[in-house]
């Protein structure tokens, strides 16, 4: 049996905020341009009065989600996590336009298989050994249902008001936490190094 590692997408693998800000900042200049540092709330609608217009563009776009860039270190991080365990992506569904098809295609293009993609608003229902997420509530709720697992809060400006969770600043730190956690559980006999087989 291999460790089950859940990874969020937006804010952990994909740079949703960059794509969002590119739309929000269209036509702006100078001090009116917003940056990642300005995003201090997980709810982007609270960021600016133009939020509804930006979300309309996102929800009706046939490419916004697929065109998102990966966060720095995500590819190498995923490759290492896949050596350590079975990695699946748990991402919240957006029930508008073609978002979910774009998201699935984005993940498939980055080495996930169809069985590795789960759309879940409530991630606490996901059983596993590790959850990597940028939303505090997701980590806390998952940890409560998986008391023997490790919830890792992927550091972002919008989650820095929490100091109770394991916080990882970037992908190298994230991988380091998972390596140590898997090693600890392996010494307790929780896992055996059985490679994942294809279906």
Give all domains of the chain, ordered by start, each with its CATH number.
Answer: 4-14+70-187 (3.40.50.1000), 16-60 (no CATH)
CA 140 to chain centre: 15
Segment holding 152, helix H or strand E: strand 150-154
pLDDT of residue 198: 44
pLDDT of residue 188: 82
Tokens of 66: 């697929």
Could you tell me which of 21, 50, 20, 51 has the C-alpha nearest to residue 34? Answer: 21
Provide the b/e sequence for 83-104 (b: ≥16 CB within 10 Å): ebbbbbbbbeebeeebbbebbb
Tokens of 166: 């394991």
Residue whose token pair is 């109770």? 164
pLDDT of residue 128: 95
> How far is 163 from 109, CA to CA, in rounded Å?
34
Kindly report the pTM of this predicted structure: 0.91
> How far is 48 from 63, CA to CA, in rounded Å?
23
CB under 8 Å to 186, separation ≥6 — which residues? 193
pLDDT of residue 195: 54
The Cβ of residue 6 has, within 10 Å, a number of other Cβ atoms equal to 26
Q: How many residues does the chain have?
A: 199
| pLDDT profile of the chain (199 residues), mean per 10 | 94 95 82 82 78 88 95 97 97 90 97 96 96 97 95 96 95 97 85 51
Provide the b/e sequence for 129-164 (b: ≥16 CB within 10 Å): bbbbbbbbebbbbbbeebeebbbbbbbbebbeeeee
What torsion do the CA atoms of 21, 93, 147, 176 make, to the nearest 10 degrees?
-50
């Amino acid at each position: 049996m291999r460790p089950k590692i859940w990874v969020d997408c937006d804010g952990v693998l994909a740079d949703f905020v960059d794509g969002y800000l590119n739309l929000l900042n269209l036509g702006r200049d100078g001090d009116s341009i917003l940056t990642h540092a300005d995003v201090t709330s997980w709810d982007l609608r609270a960021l600016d009065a133009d939020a509804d217009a930006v979300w309309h563009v996102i929800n009706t776009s046939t490419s916004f989600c697929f065109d998102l860039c990966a966060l720095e270190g995500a590819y190498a991080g995923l490759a290492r996590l896949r050596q350590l365990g079975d990695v699946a992506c748990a991402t919240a569904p957006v029930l508008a336009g073609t978002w979910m098809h774009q998201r699935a295609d984005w993940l498939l293009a980055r080495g996930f298989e169809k069985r590795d993609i789960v759309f879940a608003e409530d991630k606490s229902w996901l059983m596993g050994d590790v959850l990597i997420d940028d939303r505090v509530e997701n980590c806390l709720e998952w940890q409560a249902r998986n008391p023997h697992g490790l919830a890792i809060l992927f550091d972002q400006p919008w989650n820095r008001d929490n100091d109770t969770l394991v916080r990882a600043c970037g992908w190298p730190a994230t991988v380091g936490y998972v390596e140590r956690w898997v090693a600890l559980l392996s010494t307790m006999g929780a896992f055996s190094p059985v490679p994942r087989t294809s279906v």
